[in-house]
């Protein structure tokens, strides 16, 4: 697996710590050329929002980084620019650079899927990366559809209630594990180059509407007008909103039997609303004998957990570091999900690296 | 010297309001305060007493002209 | 409009409308773009649907930041991207806490934080790479004398001045001083490469110096509390300045084109600390800097050589010290090296010119009546100094600090005008420097008992009625009105700056907020205080005029009358130097004492061969 994303469920859930652990682990095999980029901004000493200390990323000589112009000179790693792209970010144009001397880097990479795709391609094809790590940003996850596998970083910063956190993580993993749709539908989407929402009929004809995303009740209404008796599926290429999807489910009701709702990837579903509500809706669709599936899966490889959370002190008017019981957190998480669970600070990086196949 | 103080170009001014009966007492407290904060070379730039206390600006020099300024030698200045 | 018309959706992701968003809307409308401003409190889904429905090119979101808001914005961007919007729609975020790093973290295409201009947002919409209009970076060095032709409106005064100046030139014709001779030797030293010849010149130079300086040339020793800077220190300075170069994005103090250029004064004793302060002041908008040398330097014959620091006020003049300071300056910064008093006046102007200073300062009357230099010596030296200034094309100001001793303004002005006329006759470009101060004259006379405006205005009006010449108010403005309180001190400076601006002067010198504090060196922070205050005052007044009372006109004409009377007395006396000794341009009773440094050192030319 060559393109690995690390996505967080919130700020301070340990994305950067996880990336650091991966970098550390991979550096034990010097022949591997590691590429690093970020869909946000990472590597500063102090968190942009809470003002607490954050780790910075350390790269070894020979590795590759894709970062914005104004970050190139900030760290102490010596960098040699291999290629300047035309991709602009708030921190300047993205460059792909090789590390000439070990050191810390500040990474602010492309922040949207289309740009990320271009950058990763350059890193692999031109800069010779064997693996590219994509650091997440905040709770943002959509650009991660470009990756081949995800490591999910969650922890007390998302919710200090460990029971609730474990349950939510279970739901997230389950949502991301939606099955891929059959070849028939894949072919229709591909052949017709569907870019907006489409109703697919028994006879393989389609009816498209002008919206790509199902995010508003009005769009559900528009869509409903095109759903006839011969409809057997709906393809939604862009975002969905769980409440709107729910409304569609209500409209379709019994017609859902044998009906397939197709999303482009499970991330679209994950960002549609609260995980528990999404799961309720999936159950409802399934209970009506309908299906909700995806064109392309984004496999979750592992979950990393972080007991840290910033706790706001009203007396002092600032955020202070706080921790939940890490043993309890790990136990609950392991009970909830079938994926490997790591506390990278405690467990080190070896087992995590193994999962990547290195 | 602390790492942070090395970054001071020349002087640290502390501005506050001290509860005291007169300017003389305010001066004493000011200099005592600077001593407690670890400033060896402190002086009062401004003090004005009225009613409940004194408005004061006390200065502690970290570097004076002709000293060796650590910020000048800091690699990441 | 040079750019394609864009459709822009402006959406507050807040319960209330953001004023910044409305300002940007206005800017975009004016630039010919189509804008749609959504009501507050729309959900992310509603905003995205609106963007789709209107088929917009750009979305601008505003949002106040707080905990968890980052996640909300992150979700918004995720939703926008998942909705397929980002392939063709650019999304920007604005708000109080938004910085570029945060915008990158949040995944937006641009971030507009505090201080964002409407122009910046318009550039983003139009897809232009925004080059921050750092007026500072394009700062141009100004010549204060440029628009003045030095014609006299007051012909009586012109005639009197001409007579006196001719007398001075005649008087010094066959006279020389150790100061003049040293300057000649120094110039040769700077131009030759031959070691043996250089050694010989150094010997000659040393022979014309006081013992304390001679000791340096013969034994290599420096006076107490001074030392040579180490190689390590010099290398560190080079690195420091190299790194700093990229970080400089200076403020602009002037708000209108009529605001004067602003000088600060430095002289901490250490060239490095001077440079650190200069760079700080440049960053905060100072247009020019004035070099202060130590007071003992003025009483000592001869200059040291090399990179020298010392632990007292005033920074030692050497060719090398001046050179490192010059190299540290931004190209736009005006740089003045003062030579208005002391025994090294000609050599100071020579070194300033050689190193590339923009301005110097020469005044015989002040230097000999308030600056401690013998009147005859300074008269002879000043003519030589003015000739150097003319040769190097360096305008010089004629300061009137004898006012601070108690000399009435009109007498100080008479002295200033004499040196001005002398400068004009010798081909130089003098600048008038009246003081904006609370002088002993007005303390006694009561001209400032009601306000600080009238008398200062009267001075400028008087000078304007005499001749068409540049005016640079000094030095520093508001002298003796400032207290140790930095708020009062900065405010007073800012108000005097505004008055100077209202009077249309060309330049001002401002103090730091430490002006009245004498317990230690001026701090960098205190410099920023007055620069910021001046900037705020210029912004406040804009083109507004400060209107003095009728008193100013009355006092202005009294000053002109006084100048005339004084000049008549000098002409009647016959010899300018003698007039200085006699107190015609400021008497002992008024606090002016003819200086003694260098007395008896003026010789006939032939003496030196």
Question: What's the whole-number mean pLDDT along residues C152-177?
Answer: 97
- Put simply, whether B46 touches C (Cβ < 8 Å) is yes
Domain that holds residue C519: 155-176+248-569
- Are C83 and C163 members of one domain? no
What is the domain-level CATH number for residue A349? 3.40.50
Confidence at residue A16, expressed as pLDDT on a 0 to 100 scale: 84
Residue C451 and residue C319 share a domain: yes
* Pairing relationship of beta strands C226-228 and C288-291 according to DSSP bridges: unpaired
User: Of A259, A277, A294, which marks where a domain is finished?
Assistant: A294
Residues A206 and A160 in one domain: no
Q: In chain B, what are the domain boundaries?
A: 3-73
Chain C contact partners (≥3 CB pairs within 8 A): A, B
Q: Do A11 and C52 touch (CB under 8 A)?
A: no
Which residues on chain C are in Cβ contact (under 8 Å) with B8?
none
Between C265 and A55, name the one with better pLDDT.
Answer: C265
Task: Encode C304-368 in three state secondary structure.
Answer: CCCCEEECCCCCCCCHHHHHHHHHHCCCCCEEEEECCCCCCHHHHHHHHHHHCCCEEECCHHHHH
CA atoms of C472 and A44, how far apart (whole Å): 47
| C52 close to A (CB below 8 A) | yes
Task: Please indicate, yes or no, whether residues C170 and C79 belong to a single structural domain of this protein.
Answer: no
Least confident piece of the model among A296-310, C194-208, C594-608: C594-608
A312 touches chain C (CB under 8 A): yes
- Tell me the pLDDT of chain C averaged across its residues: 92
Q: Is the pLDDT of residue C15 over 90?
A: no
| C contacts of A41 (beta carbons < 8 Å) | 101-102, 104-105
Greatest C-alpha distance within chain A? 67
Chains in contact with A via at least 3 Cβ–Cβ pairs below 8 Å: C
Cross-chain residue pair C236–B73, CB shorter than 8 Å: yes
Q: How many Å apart are CA C25 and CA A78, to the nearest integer?
A: 43
Q: Tell whether C214 is covered by a domain.
A: no
Of 3.30.30.60, 3.20.20.70, 3.30.565.10, 3.10.129.10, the CATH number of B3-73 is: 3.30.30.60
Please indicate, yes or no, whether residues A143 and A237 belong to a single structural domain of this protein.
no
- Could you tell me if A193 and A167 lie in one domain? no
- Looking at the structure, tell me whether residues C120 and C265 fall in a common domain: no
Query: For residue B55, which residues of chain C lie inside 8 Å, CB to CB?
Result: 485
Same-domain status, A163 and A202? no
| Residue C83 pLDDT exceeds 80 | yes
Q: Does C192 touch chain A (CB under 8 A)?
A: no
Which one of A249, A264, A294 terminates a domain?
A294
Is residue C133 predicted with pLDDT exceeding 90?
no
| Same domain as A325, residue A266 | no
In this predicted structure, the answer to whether residue C426 has a pLDDT above a threshold of 90 is yes
Over residues A18-28, the pLDDT tens digits come to 998 899 899 98
**C511 within some domain:** yes
Number of domains, chain A = 2
If you search the block for the tokens 């918004």, which residue do you land on?
Answer: C76
The rounded radius of gyration (Å) of the Cα atoms in chain A is 22
Report yes or no: C276 at the B interface, CB cutoff 8 Å.
yes
pLDDT tens figures, A212-265: 999 999 999 999 999 998 999 999 999 999 999 999 999 888 889 999 999 999
Contact C77/A at CB under 8 A:
yes
Nearest Cα neighbor of A263 from A171, A176, A141, A151 is A176
Residue C282 has pLDDT above 80, yes or no: yes
- pLDDT of residue C502 exceeding 80: yes
Same structural domain, A72 and A139: yes
Chain B closest CA to C90's CA: distance in Å?
36
Over residues C378-417, the pLDDT tens digits come to 999 999 999 999 999 999 999 999 999 899 999 999 999 9
Q: Say which residue, C584 or C240, is predicted with more confidence.
A: C584
Angle at A172 between CA A167 and CA A178, to 5 degrees: 130
Q: How confident is the model at residue C608 (pLDDT cuts 50, 70, 90)?
A: very low
Same domain, A160 and A192: no
Residue C17's pLDDT band (cuts 50, 70, 90): low
Looking at residue C334, which CATH number applies to its domain? 3.20.20.440
Do C460 and C398 lie in one domain? The reply is: yes
pLDDT higher than threshold 80 for residue A317: no
Pick the residue of B7, B8, B16, B45 with the most C CBs within 10 A to test the interface with C by mutation: B45
Owning domain of residue A29: 3-175+298-355
Q: pLDDT-based confidence at C157, cuts 50/70/90?
A: very high
| Closest Cα in chain C, distance from residue B74 (Å) | 9
C138 domain-assigned:
no
Nearest-Cα residue of chain A relative to residue C69: A49
Neighbours of chain B (3+ CB pairs under 8 A): C
Residue C119: pLDDT band by 50, 70, 90 thresholds? confident
Give the Cβ contact number of residue C81 at 10 Å. Answer: 26
Q: Are residues C120 and C168 in the same domain?
A: no
ipTM of predicted complex = 0.94
A328-350: buried (b, 16+ CB within 10 Å) or exposed (e) per residue?
Answer: ebbebbeebbebbbbbbbebebe
Using the Cβ of A66 and the Cβ atoms of chain C, whether some distance falls under 8 Å is answered with: no
* Residue of C369, C406, C440, C398 lying closest to C161 (CA atoms): C398
What is residue A174's predicted lDDT score, i.e. its pLDDT?
Answer: 94
pLDDT band at C609 (very low <50, low <70, confident <90, very high): very low
Does C560 reside within a domain? yes
pLDDT in tens, B38-48: 998 899 999 99
- Counting residues of chain C whose pLDDT is more than 70, the rounded percentage is 96
What is residue C242's predicted lDDT score, i.e. its pLDDT? 84
Please write the tens of the pLDDT for every residue from A118-135: 999 999 999 999 999 999
Within a domain: C65 = yes
Q: Which residue has the higher pLDDT, C406 or C246?
A: C406
Which tens digit of pLDDT belongs to each residue from C295-337?
888 999 999 999 999 888 889 999 999 999 999 999 999 999 9
Chain-centroid distance of CA A344 in Å reads 19
Same domain, A125 and A199: no
**Range 185-244 of C in CB contact (< 8 A) with B:** 225, 227, 232-233, 236-237, 239-240, 243
Which segment of C135-139, C194-198, C204-208 scores lowest on mean pLDDT? C135-139
B10 touches chain C (CB under 8 A): yes
pLDDT, one tens digit per residue, over C519-533 is 889 999 999 999 999
Please give the Cα distance from C380 to C398 (Å, whole number): 16
Please state, in angstroms and rounded to a whole number, the distance separating the CA atoms of residues C440 and C315: 29
Residues 6+ apart with CB under 8 A from B55: B17, B46, B47, B48, C485
The predicted model gives C226-248 an average pLDDT of 86
| Alpha carbons C277 and C30: distance in angstroms, whole number | 42
Which residue, A277, A294, A311, sits at the end of a domain?
A: A294
CA distance C280 to chain B (A): 10
Q: Per residue in A277-313, pLDDT tens?
A: 999 999 999 999 999 999 998 899 999 999 988 887 7
Residues C163 and C50 in one domain: no
What integer pLDDT is reported at residue B75 of this predicted model? 58
CA end-to-end distance (rounded Å), chain A: 9
C347-372, pLDDT tens digit by residue? 999 999 999 999 999 999 999 999 99
Is there a domain that residue C35 lies in?
A: yes
Q: Is the pLDDT of residue C607 over 50?
A: no
Structure tokens at C77: 């961007």
Tell me how many residue pairs between chain B and chain C have CB atoms under 8 A apart.
76
Do C259 and C385 share a domain, yes or no?
yes
Distance from CA of C519 to the nearest CA of B (A): 7
The mean per-residue pLDDT over the stretch C64-71 comes to 73
What CATH number corresponds to the domain at position C15?
3.40.50.280
pLDDT of residue C1: 46
């Amino acid at each position: 697996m060559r393109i690995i994303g690390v996505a967080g469920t919130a700020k301070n859930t340990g994305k950067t710590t996880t990336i650091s652990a991966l970098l550390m682990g991979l550096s034990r095999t010097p022949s591997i050329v590691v590429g690093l980029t970020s869909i946000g901004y990472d590597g500063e000493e102090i968190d942009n929002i809470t003002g607490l200390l954050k780790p910075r990323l350390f790269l070894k000589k020979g590795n590759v980084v894709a970062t914005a112009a104004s970050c190139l000179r900030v760290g102490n790693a010596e960098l040699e620019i291999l290629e300047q792209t035309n991709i602009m970010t708030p921190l300047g144009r993205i460059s792909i650079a090789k590390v000439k001397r070990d050191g810390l880097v500040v990474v602010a990479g492309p922040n949207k899927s289309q740009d990320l795709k271009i950058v990763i391609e350059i890193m692999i094809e031109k800069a010779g990366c064997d693996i590219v790590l994509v650091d997440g940003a905040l709770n943002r996850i959509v650009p991660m559809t470009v990756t081949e596998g995800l490591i999910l970083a969650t922890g007390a910063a998302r919710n200090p209630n460990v029971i609730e956190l474990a349950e939510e993580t279970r739901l997230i993993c389950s949502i991301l594990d939606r099955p891929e749709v059959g070849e028939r539908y894949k072919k229709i989407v591909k052949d017709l180059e569907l870019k907006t929402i489409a109703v697919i009929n028994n006879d393989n004809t389609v009816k498209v509407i002008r919206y790509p995303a199902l995010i508003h009740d009005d769009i559900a209404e528009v869509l409903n007008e095109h759903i006839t008796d011969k409809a057997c599926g709906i393809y939604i290429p862009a975002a969905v909103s769980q409440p709107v999807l729910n409304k569609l489910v209500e409209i379709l009701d019994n017609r859902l039997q044998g009906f397939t709702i197709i999303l482009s990837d499970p991330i679209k579903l994950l960002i549609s609303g609260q995980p528990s509500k999404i799961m309720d809706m999936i159950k409802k669709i399934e209970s009506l004998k309908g299906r909700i599936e995806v064109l392309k899966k984004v496999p979750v490889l592992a979950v990393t957990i972080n007991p840290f959370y910033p706790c706001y002190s009203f007396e002092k008017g600032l955020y202070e570091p706080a921790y939940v019981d890490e043993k309890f957190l790990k136990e609950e998480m392991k009970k909830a999900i079938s994926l490997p669970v790591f506390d990278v600070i405690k467990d080190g990086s070896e087992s995590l690296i193994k999962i990547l196949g290195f | 010297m602390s790492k942070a103080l090395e970054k001071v170009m020349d002087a640290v001014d502390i501005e506050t309001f001290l509860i005291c009966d007169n300017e003389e007492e305010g001066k004493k407290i000011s200099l005592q305060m600077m001593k407690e904060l670890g400033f060896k070379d402190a002086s009062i730039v401004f003090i004005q007493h009225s009613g409940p206390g004194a408005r004061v600006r006390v200065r502690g020099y970290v570097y004076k002209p002709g000293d060796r300024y650590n910020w000048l030698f800091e690699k990441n200045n | 409009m040079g750019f394609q018309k864009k459709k822009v959706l402006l959406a507050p992701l807040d319960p209330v409308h953001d004023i910044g968003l409305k300002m940007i809307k206005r800017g975009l409308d004016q630039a010919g773009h189509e804008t749609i401003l959504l009501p507050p409190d729309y959900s992310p889904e509603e905003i995205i649907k609106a963007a789709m429905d209107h088929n917009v090119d750009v979305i601008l979101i505003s949002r106040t930041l707080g905990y968890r808001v980052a996640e909300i914005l992150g979700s918004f961007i995720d939703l926008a991207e998942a909705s397929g919007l980002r392939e063709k729609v650019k999304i920007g975020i604005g708000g109080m806490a938004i910085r570029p790093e945060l915008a990158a973290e949040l995944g937006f295409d641009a971030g507009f934080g505090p201080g964002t201009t409407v122009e910046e947002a318009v550039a983003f919409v139009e897809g232009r790479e925004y080059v921050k209009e750092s007026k500072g970076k394009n700062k141009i060095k100004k010549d204060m004398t440029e628009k003045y032709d030095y014609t006299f409106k007051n012909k009586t005064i012109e005639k009197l001045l001409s007579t006196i100046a001719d007398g001075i030139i005649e008087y010094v014709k066959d006279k020389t001083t150790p100061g003049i001779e040293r300057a000649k030797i120094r110039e040769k030293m700077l131009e030759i490469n031959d070691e043996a010849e250089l050694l010989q010149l150094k010997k000659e130079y040393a022979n014309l110096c006081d013992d304390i300086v001679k000791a340096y040339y013969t034994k290599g020793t420096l006076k107490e509390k001074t030392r040579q800077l180490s190689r390590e220190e010099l290398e560190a300075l080079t690195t420091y300045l190299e790194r700093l170069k990229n970080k400089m994005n200076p403020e602009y103090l002037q708000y209108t084109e009529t605001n004067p250029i602003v000088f600060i004064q430095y002289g901490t004793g250490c060239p490095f600390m001077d440079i650190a302060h200069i760079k700080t002041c440049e960053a905060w908008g100072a247009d020019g800097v004035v070099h202060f040398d130590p007071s003992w330097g003025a009483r000592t014959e001869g200059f040291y050589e090399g990179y020298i620091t010392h632990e007292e006020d005033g920074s030692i003049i050497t060719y090398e010290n001046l050179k490192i300071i010059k190299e540290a300056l931004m190209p736009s910064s005006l740089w003045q090296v003062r030579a208005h008093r002391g025994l090294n006046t000609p050599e100071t102007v020579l070194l300033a010119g050689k190193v590339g200073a923009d301005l110097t300062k020469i005044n015989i009357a002040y230097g000999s009546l308030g600056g401690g230099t013998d009147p005859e010596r300074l008269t002879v030296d000043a003519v030589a100094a003015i000739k150097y200034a003319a040769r190097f094309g360096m305008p010089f100001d004629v300061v009137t600090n004898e006012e601070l001793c108690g000399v009435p303004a009109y007498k100080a002005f008479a002295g200033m005008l004499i040196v001005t006329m002398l400068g004009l006759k010798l081909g130089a470009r003098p600048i008038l420097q009246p003081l904006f101060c609370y002088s002993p004259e007005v303390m006694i006379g009561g001209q400032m008992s009601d306000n600080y405006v009238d008398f200062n205005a009267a001075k400028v009006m008087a000078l304007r009625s005499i001749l068409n010449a540049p005016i640079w108010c000094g030095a520093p403005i508001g002298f003796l009105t400032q207290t140790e309180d930095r708020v009062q001190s900065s405010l007073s400076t800012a108000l005097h700056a505004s008055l100077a601006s209202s009077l249309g002067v060309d330049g001002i010198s401002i103090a730091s907020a430490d002006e009245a504090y004498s317990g230690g060196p001026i701090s960098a922070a205190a410099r920023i205080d007055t620069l910021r205050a001046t900037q705020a005052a210029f912004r406040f007044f804009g083109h507004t005029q400060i209107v003095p009372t009728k008193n100013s006109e009355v006092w202005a004409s009294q000053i002109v009358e006084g100048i005339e009377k004084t000049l008549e007395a000098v002409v009647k006396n016959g010899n300018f130097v003698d007039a200085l000794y006699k107190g015609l341009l400021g008497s002992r009773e008024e606090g002016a004492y003819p200086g003694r440094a260098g007395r008896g050192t003026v010789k006939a030319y032939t003496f030196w061969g």
